[in-house]
């Protein structure tokens, strides 16, 4: 059996039968209550006939600039609520579940990185956002990079937290190893949200999107990005390596790099206070209003 085939089987088995922390996973994930917050309310935005569940600020501060959080692979906006709650004190949050994921509609085909980024741009048009700041985690960073490179007028500035994936690690097997290394940093309540979201998007969509993520080459798009960008890495993150974080920041015309000590990959959930404090000085340099 080829190394690539072995890696695919390992990754597929990991998503299908094991949680991120290594505990046995039920054959059908049990539904759990959506992560809710009094700071947010849910609306549905129609984008070319597809309903997109969107969490928006329940009571945004006057003249608050819009901030669009973008979730990671196979997940939804629910796991970003911890950091969003803190940022909602200062910004007008508009956070979609991407097509095919969470509680948004499911397109007939699985979308690749440019396809998802294009749908994100269409969602911005539908919700009335001409331009916004964005904050992405993990795979969400790849979508922001693609969006900012192809639709520069849409992006005021962006925070890329834990961008994926280093060029020399874009294999199923290597990523399986990296995600297993990150598992000890994933708390049980994060696992519960992930299991529910994985069940909603389905194994085929999750694995196909993962394959698209490995084929994507964000480093080739960085020089086209006009907006200022802050790259944030957790110092213990095995998925976004230090070398890769530096490569991304250096490849951006307006790139900066911030390292947060003692934390790993999913800072939007596991270190929301630290991530919000690292992001706000950068985001507040803009005078953009909603």
Phi and psi at 241, nearest 5°, equal -75, 160
Q: Does an H or E element contain 256, and which? A: strand 255-260
Residue 35 has a pLDDT of: 52
The DSSP line for 183-220 is GGG--HHHHHHHHHHHHHH-HHHHHHHHHHHHH--GGG
Residue 37 has a pLDDT of: 86
- pTM for this structure? 0.88
Model pLDDT for residues 72-105, shown as the tens digit of each residue: 999 999 999 999 999 999 999 999 999 999 999 9
Model pLDDT for residues 198-247, shown as the tens digit of each residue: 999 999 999 999 999 999 999 999 999 999 999 999 999 999 999 999 99
Q: Are 154 and 133 in contact (CB under 8 A)?
A: no
Nearest to 219 by CA among 284, 177, 165, 267: 165
The CATH architecture to which 47-196+211-283 belongs is 3-Layer(aba) Sandwich (3.40)
Per-residue burial over 150-185, b = 16 or more CB atoms within 10 Å of its CB, e = otherwise: eeeebbbbbbbbbbbbbeebebbbbbbebbeebbeb
Counting Cα atoms < 13 Å in the Cβ hemisphere of 290 gives 17
Say if residue 165 is preceded by a cis peptide, omega within 30 of 0.
yes
Q: What three-state secondary structure class fits 86? A: helix
Residue 26 has a pLDDT of: 28
Quote the mean pLDDT of the chain.
88
Beta strands in 28-98 (DSSP E): 40-47, 50-57, 66-70, 92-96
Q: Are strands 50-57 and 40-47 parallel, antiparallel or unpaired?
A: antiparallel
Q: What three-state secondary structure class fits 14? A: helix
pLDDT at residue 7 is higher than 80: no
What is the Cα–Cα distance from 67 to 86, expressed in whole angstroms? 12
pLDDT (average), residues 2-26: 37
Residue 242 has a pLDDT of: 98
Could you tell me the pLDDT band of residue 36, with boundaries at 50, 70 and 90?
confident
């Amino acid at each position: 059996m080829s190394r690539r085939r072995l890696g695919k089987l390992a990754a597929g088995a990991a998503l299908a039968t094991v949680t991120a922390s290594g505990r046995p996973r039920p054959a059908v994930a049990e539904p759990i209550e959506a992560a809710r917050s009094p700071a947010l309310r849910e609306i549905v935005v129609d984008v070319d006939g597809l309903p997109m569940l969107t969490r928006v600020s329940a009571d945004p501060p006057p003249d608050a600039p819009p901030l669009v959080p973008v979730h990671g692979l196979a997940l939804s906006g629910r796991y970003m609520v911890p950091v969003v709650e803190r940022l909602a004190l200062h910004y007008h949050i508009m956070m979609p579940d991407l097509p095919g994921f969470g509680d948004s509609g499911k397109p007939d085909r699985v979308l690749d990185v440019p396809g998802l980024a294009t749908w994100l741009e269409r969602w911005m048009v539908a919700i009335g956002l001409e331009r916004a700041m964005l904050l992405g985690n993990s795979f969400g960073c790849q979508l922001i990079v693609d969006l900012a490179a192809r639709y520069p007028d849409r992006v005021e500035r962006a925070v890329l937290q834990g961008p994926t994936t280093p060029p020399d690690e874009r294999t199923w097997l290597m990523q399986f190893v990296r995600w297993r290394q990150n598992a000890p940093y994933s708390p049980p309540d994060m696992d519960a949200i992930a299991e529910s979201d994985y069940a909603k998007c389905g194994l085929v969509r999750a694995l196909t999107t993962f394959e698209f993520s490995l084929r994507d080459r964000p480093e080739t798009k960085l020089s086209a990005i006009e907006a200022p960008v802050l790259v944030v890495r957790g110092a213990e993150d095995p998925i976004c390596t230090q070398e890769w974080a530096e490569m991304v920041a250096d490849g951006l015309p307006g790139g900066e790099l911030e390292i947060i000590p003692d934390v790993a990959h999913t800072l939007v959930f596991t270190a929301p206070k630290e991530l919000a404090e690292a992001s706000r000085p950068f985001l507040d340099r803009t005078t953009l209003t909603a």
